[in-house]
Amino acid sequence: MKRKSSRNRHLAALFLAMSMPFCSAVPGQEPPIGETQTTAASTTEKGLAALKANQPQQALDLFEQVLQTNPNDAAANLLAATAAVSLYKGDLAVKYAEKAREIDPNNWKVHTTLVAAYAAAGKKEQRDQERVTLRKLHGDPNAPDAMQTKGFLLEMFPVKQYRIEAIEYFQPVEKFHIYYRFLIRNAEGKRVWQIDVESNDFDETSWAKAHPDEAAAGKRQFQLVGEDRDLHMDYRMFSGTADYDTIRAQVLDLIQAQTAPFPGEK
């Protein structure tokens, strides 16, 4: 079966965009004007370039250089957290992301990094608290940027030679109602496959008629499907709720069971 999939916004760009909210200094935290500020800005730009070039360790080293001079640099803290997430250094990511929240507690974009940092550190309770916070902000007219965002990077984790980036959507998106999208990247950061978690209306209607009690309890029928440009693969169906950890375990099983190269690797 073939079905053309719509191209998702590049996840690295999404995560970077969510991690660069601090275009101006936080009141009371302005660095001194002059050579130090210029050097810090230059080093931060180099770190951003390294992060975009899929060189998170180099990026982290550069951001930490900035923080040695000014530990209250909100942007450097948040970007250091982003680099640490990419290196699967969860505790370090939490340290920097929480520092950024301490400096600028009202900036919603801090939470988009905190949620991934807590996930990387295995702190599920804190992760889920941030997910709730992000959903509240998504519906808050006083946070227009959050309202305009369709979803967020929930977690980044390694499986075999791949990096998996899990996106959670505030509301199901696209024609087939995608709840989560798992982007699969190779060591160079190239997307080689994606697995979507769908619950489309057509299948859901027939399932609900056959399972009225489960449907009344708020459960749905979901599909795990693979996508790459015009290629489409149906993996499996399951009934229940859109519980992330349950779905993550199923996606992990699929990737672990993959023996042939993903289509994007050919």
Residue 4 has pLDDT above 90, yes or no: no
pLDDT above 90: percentage of residues in the chain? 68
pLDDT value of residue 266: 79
**pLDDT, tens only, 135-152:** 999 999 988 999 999 999
The end-to-end CA distance of the chain, in Å, is 19
pLDDT of 217: 81
Residues 148-168 as b/e (b if ≥16 CB within 10 A, e otherwise) read: ebebbbbbbbeeeebbbbbbb
pLDDT at 208 > cutoff 90: no
Which residues, other chains included, contact 27 with Cβ-Cβ below 8 Å and sequence gap of 6+? none
Q: Domains for the chain: give ranges and CATH numbers.
A: 11-23+36-148 (1.25.40.10), 160-259 (no CATH)
Give the model's pLDDT for residue 32.
Answer: 53
Across the chain, mean pLDDT equals 86
User: In angstroms, rounded to a whole number, what is the distance separating the alpha carbons of residues 236 and 212?
Assistant: 21
